[in-house]
């Protein structure tokens, strides 16, 4: 591509010089071709490239390869589960003295999903152009189904986060200032109608990792009908809500009981024969200065997050939809083909430099703690009878780290957490240090970093990652069952995950509290670093989000500044101000 662009530039410069009879004639336009929406597409392959642009865009929105702060906010910063470390306080998303409709993060997220919609609308339009020919009607239907999925998926996210928003179903070629908000129910219903229309145009499985399949639609319909029912119940439509919850369960059944997907409950994949791994400990964090080792027993939950194990095509029967990350593509120039999870989510143990130094695998890699788990996420959900859980095993949520500084009393010894958290005589220092030192999930680091021999510095993972994994479908169905009055069924669904995780405690109907804390806790245990927590909390409505932020936020500023209630994010002020011909009302709590 770079060579082609170079030759085009050379040709342009040469012909410009030769063709200049005078300044006047040079400046006079005489174009031979105009590219328009109607003539830019001539083949089905070009339409497919437009689809791939949305796959790529959503990969960037979920994986965040460039570390944009607003994307970390979208994925959960400022909720009950995540916050920023003290060294990132300038980018906090829980100081409500600063969070308002003018905050650019809201606009970035709002705009990002309308970008998905715009690309989808363009793809749908181009697929129907008369000059575009298709190998078969099935191929065309699949292309249209993917585009319509992207559009509906964007509206689902916008509905959960912002409520009723303008619905745009056609390409926009001229400026408009007259968009009108729908209701939240109408937004959900539009996404439902789109998803239901394309369900059977998507295959059950594909040979290509990352391409959309029918299960992705059914999962989203399970979530959309659940969200619709919650909103209907909030507005007093009890019968409509019950119908919606029943539909949610039906679509959850299609995914869970359809014979395509199943929970992983035995070793599989690239590393299934490794019953244990040995982690080297490096003196002063220096490569090739191995002084000790740590051994961890492996398990099948850990298998789910190893390179080469994520796609359904890899034998992973939990994977419904995955983003594609490829190291060879990264090396060839696709700089967004990487997961910055190690950089973003791994702690900075080197703050205790008298005891731990380095950025190698013994300390999780080159973490800079952009996002950190709250005490709720790292400790509370694993306390008491919930402690025995494969997902909390040492290989899955690593809590053992050895000192690697010779002068430390913990040299080649496991450093106790009481010291890590409270090792300084100053309480404020301990609070700050605790924010950047925490256990490390197997989802965000590895013992085998790809690319080190090529100069990579253990900041990134080069494995595929999940958009949708079967346990989330199960948890959505559990919530729909509980909201429809079936707490026993909800507990049974949660126990599907707890049995798989070899938990010593299985929940009962009496554990299914009316505030849905059990479901939210189990989502945290299962989907840490996977779910977009804001979507979940805001979708649940009421005061779920604000109550849990006030209870579990790490920094006290959230509790002292969150003096109002809300269950939707604000419509960005930029959007309201630019829509000059129709007034867009602000969401409650943000006026």
For 419, phi then psi, to 5°, come to -75, -40
Averaged pLDDT for residues 473-486: 98
**Which pLDDT does position 34 carry in this prediction?**
57
Give the model confidence (pLDDT) of 87-131 as tens digits.
999 899 999 999 999 999 999 999 999 999 999 999 999 999 999
Q: How confident is the model over 291-311, as pLDDT tens digits?
A: 999 999 999 999 999 999 999
Q: What is the mean pLDDT of residues 237-247?
A: 98
The rounded distance, in Å, linking the Cα atoms of 562 and 92 is 14
pLDDT level of residue 321 (50, 70, 90 thresholds): very high
Give the residue-averaged pLDDT of 1-25.
34
Q: Please calculate the CA angle 41-334-220 and round it to the nearest 5 degrees.
A: 70
Would you state the pLDDT for residue 21? Answer: 41
Phi, psi values for residue 179, rounded to 5°: -70, 145
Quick one: average pLDDT of 490-515? 98
Q: Which two tokens stand for residue 386?
A: 């919930």
The whole-angstrom separation of Cα 221 and Cα 182 is 20
Quick check: 499 and 382 in contact, CB under 8 A? no
How many angstroms separate the Cα of 58 from the Cα of each of 150, 180, 187, 200? Answer: 9, 26, 20, 23
Mean local confidence (pLDDT), 4-32: 37
How far out from the chain centre does Cα 316 lie? 19
- pLDDT score recorded for residue 2: 32
The CA distance from 367 to 576, in Å, is 39
Residue 439, exposed/middle/buried by CB under 10 A (0-12, 13-18, 19+)? buried
CA 224/CA 258 separation, integer angstroms = 19
Using 50, 70 and 90 to split pLDDT, how confident is the model at 37? Answer: confident
pLDDT at 12 exceeding the cut of 50: no
CA–chain centroid gap for 436, Å, is 21
Band of residue 39 on the pLDDT scale cut at 50, 70, 90? confident
For the cut 80, the answer to whether the pLDDT of residue 498 exceeds it is yes
Give me the half-sphere count of Cα atoms (radius 13 Å) on the Cβ side of residue 239: 0
Over residues 493-515, mean pLDDT: 98
Two structure tokens written together for 187: 């937004």
3-state secondary structure of 253: helix
Give the DSSP per-residue string, 376-400. Answer: HHHTGGGSGGG---GGGSTTTEE--
328, 310, 329: which is closest to 320 by C-alpha?
Answer: 310
The residue with greater pLDDT, 56 or 29, is 56
Cα–Cα distance between 508 and 488 in angstroms, integer?
Answer: 7
Tell me the C-alpha distance between 337 and 315, whole Å.
Answer: 22
The yes-or-no verdict on residue 528 having pLDDT over 70 is yes
Taking 50 as the threshold, does the pLDDT of residue 9 lie above it? no
Query: In this structure, what DSSP letter does residue 336 have?
Result: T
Q: Which band of pLDDT confidence, cut at 50, 70 and 90, is reported for residue 234?
A: very high
Name the β-bridge partners of 398: 440
Q: Note whether 410 and 397 are within 8 A (CB).
A: no
What local confidence, expressed as pLDDT, does residue 11 receive?
Answer: 29
* Phi, psi (rounded to 5 degrees) for 138: -65, -40
What is the helix (H) or strand (E) element at residue 189, kind and residue range? Answer: helix 184-198
Q: How many whole angstroms separate alpha carbon 220 and alpha carbon 153?
A: 8
Q: What percent of the chain has pLDDT over 90?
A: 92
513 and 547 Cβ atoms separated by less than 8 Å: no
pLDDT of residue 18: 31
3-class DSSP assignment, residue 467: strand
The rounded distance, in Å, linking the Cα atoms of 368 and 521 is 27
Q: Which residue has the tokens 């731990």?
A: 356
Domains detected in the chain: 42-201+542-591 (1.25.40.390), 276-303+340-461 (no CATH)
pLDDT band for 10, please (50, 70, 90 cuts).
very low
**140 near 44, Cβ under 8 Å?**
yes
- Comparing CA positions, the residue from 568, 94, 563 lying closest to residue 372 is 94
Q: Measure the N-to-C terminal CA separation of the chain; round to a whole number of Å.
A: 49
Strands in 12-108 per DSSP E: 82-83
Interatomic CA distance for residues 319 and 3, integer angstroms: 38
Average pLDDT over residues 186-212: 97
Cα–Cα distance between 518 and 539 in angstroms, integer? 16
DSSP per position, 514-528: TT-HHHHHHHHHHHT
CA 250, CA 196: separation in Å to the nearest integer?
A: 13
- pLDDT band per the 50, 70, 90 thresholds, residue 441: very high
State if pTM tops 0.95. Answer: no
Q: How confident is the model at residue 13 (pLDDT cuts 50, 70, 90)?
A: very low
DSSP 416: P
Residue written as token pair 């869970």: 256
pLDDT at 5: 29
* pLDDT averaged over every residue in the chain: 93
Q: Mark out the alpha helices in 295-338 (DSSP H runs).
A: 300-303, 327-331
Q: Scan for tokens 């993060």, then name that residue.
A: 105
Of 3 and 141, the one with more pLDDT: 141
Give the integer Cα–Cα distance in Å for 467 and 84. Answer: 23
Q: What is the pLDDT of residue 574?
A: 97
H or E stretch including 440? Answer: strand 440-441
């Amino acid at each position: 591509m770079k060579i082609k662009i170079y030759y085009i530039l050379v040709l342009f410069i040469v012909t410009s010089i030769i063709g200049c009879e005078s300044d006047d004639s040079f400046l006079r336009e005489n174009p031979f071709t105009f590219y328009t929406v109607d003539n830019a597409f001539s083949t089905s392959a070009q339409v497919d490239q437009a689809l791939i642009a949305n796959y790529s865009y959503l990969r960037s929105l979920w994986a965040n390869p460039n570390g944009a702060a607003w994307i970390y906010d979208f994925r959960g910063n400022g909720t009950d589960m995540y916050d920023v470390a003290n060294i990132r306080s300038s980018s906090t998303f829980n100081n409500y003295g600063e969070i308002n409709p003018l905050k650019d993060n809201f606009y970035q997220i709002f705009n990002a999903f309308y970008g998905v919609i715009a690309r989808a609308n363009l793809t749908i339009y181009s697929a129907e152009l008369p000059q575009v020919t298709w190998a078969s009607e099935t191929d065309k239907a699949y292309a249209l189904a993917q585009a319509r999925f992207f559009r509906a998926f964007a509206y689902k996210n916008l509905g959960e986060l912002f409520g009723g928003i303008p619905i745009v179903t056609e390409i926009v070629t001229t400026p408009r200032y007259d968009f009108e908000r729908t209701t939240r129910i109408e937004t959900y219903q539009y996404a439902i109608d789109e998803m239901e229309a394309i369900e059977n145009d998507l295959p059950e499985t594909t040979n290509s990792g990352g391409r959309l399949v029918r299960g992705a639609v059914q999962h989203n319909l399970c979530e959309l009908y659940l969200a619709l029912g919650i909103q209907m119940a909030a507005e007093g439509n009890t019968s409509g809500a019950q119908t919606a919850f029943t539909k949610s369960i039906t679509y959850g059944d299609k995914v869970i009981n359809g014979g395509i997907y199943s929970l992983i409950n035995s070793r599989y994949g690239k590393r299934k024969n490794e019953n244990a791994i040995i982690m080297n400990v490096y003196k002063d964090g220096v490569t090739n200065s191995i002084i000790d080792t740590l051994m961890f027993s492996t398990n099948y939950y850990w298998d789910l997050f190893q390179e080469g194990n994520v796609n359904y095509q890899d034998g992973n029967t939990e994977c419904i939809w995955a983003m594609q990350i490829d190291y060879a593509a990264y090396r060839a120039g696709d700089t967004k083909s990487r997961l910055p999870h190690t950089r973003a989510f791994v702690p900075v143990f080197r703050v205790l430099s008298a005891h731990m130094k380095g950025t190698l695998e013994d300390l999780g890699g080159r973490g800079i703690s952009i996002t950190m788990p709250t005490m709720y996420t790292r400790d509370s959900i694993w306390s008491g009878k919930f402690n025995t859980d494969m997902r909390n095993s040492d290989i899955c949520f690593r809590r053992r780290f050895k000192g690697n500084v010779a002068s430390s009393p913990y040299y080649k010894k496991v450093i106790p957490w009481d010291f890590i958290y409270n090792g300084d005589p100053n309480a404020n220092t301990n609070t700050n240090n605790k924010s950047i030192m925490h256990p490390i999930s197997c989802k965000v680091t590895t013992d085998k970093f790809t690319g080190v021999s090529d100069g990579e510095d253990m900041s990134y993972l080069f494995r595929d990652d999940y958009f949708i994994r079967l346990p989330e479908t199960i948890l959505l169905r559990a919530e729909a069952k509980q909201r429809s009055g079936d707490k026993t069924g909800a507990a049974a669904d949660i126990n599907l995950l707890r049995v798989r995780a070899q938990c010593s405690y299985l929940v009962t109907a009496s554990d299914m509290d009316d505030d849905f804390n059990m479901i939210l806790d189990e989502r945290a245990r299962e989907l840490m670093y996977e779910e977009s927590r804001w979507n979940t909390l805001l979708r649940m409505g009421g005061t779920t989000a604000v109550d849990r932020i006030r209870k579990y936020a790490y920094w006290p500023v959230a509790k002292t500044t969150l003096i109002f209630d809300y269950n939707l994010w604000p419509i960005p002020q930029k959007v309201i101000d630019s829509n000059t011909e129709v007034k867009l009302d602000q969401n409650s709590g943000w006026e």
